[in-house]
Amino acid sequence: MIYVALLRGINVGGKNIMEMKKLKTTFESLGFTNVVTYINSGNIIFEDVSREESVIVRELEKAIEKDFQLEIKVLIRSSENIATICRELPGTWLKNETMRTDVMFLWEEFDRPEVLDLLKINQVDQVKYAAGAILWNVENKDYNKSGMIKLVGTKLYKNMTIRNVNTVRKLNEIITSINEHNNG
């Protein structure tokens, strides 16, 4: 099974610094295969055939603490979940000079459609739930009017890790490439 590990809060504002090359080695030392890191924000694609997701998370958090002396929350998503989220994302939702689209990956406690009821969604926002994530789109010019800025510091915010849409789509491309290589 191909997974993506999403690490929360690393290499942000000079805090929780992790070198991706060393992080890749940490994953490989746990027996994961085809380990690929993508940009410095804690996105690691890997394969594992035998462990349950909860076991993978525990092992990774423990290994990261040992190797980096950091307590980092790790969220695991299957390749199927990433593909589903990408299918749910409208093609017109972009991250560019005029638009911001974020994928807010949720920890289990909040992973349900009713999570939208906890959000302050303003008229400028387009928001939808997809299994495992909240998809949030707003025009850059309206960002200061967005309910998204009200999330910081909330319990919900502490139970999610956010990636922009370009990153999520690229992770899906990498997964597809690994699948093609494995099946080709």
Q: Which domains does the chain have, with CATH numbers?
A: 2-80 (3.30.70.1280), 82-164 (3.30.70.1260)
Residues of the chain with pLDDT under 50: none
Beta-bridge mates of residue 40: none
Closest CA to 86 of 168, 163, 164, 5: 168
User: Residue 11: its pLDDT value, please?
Assistant: 72
3-state class of 46 per DSSP? strand
> How far, rounded to the nearest angstrom, does the alpha carbon of residue 93 sit from its chain's CA centroid?
17
Task: Tell me the per-residue pLDDT of 36-72, one tens digit each, with 9 for 90 and over.
Answer: 999 988 999 999 999 999 999 999 999 999 999 999 9
The HSE-up count of residue 116 (CA atoms within 13 Å, CB side) is 16
The pTM of this model reads: 0.94
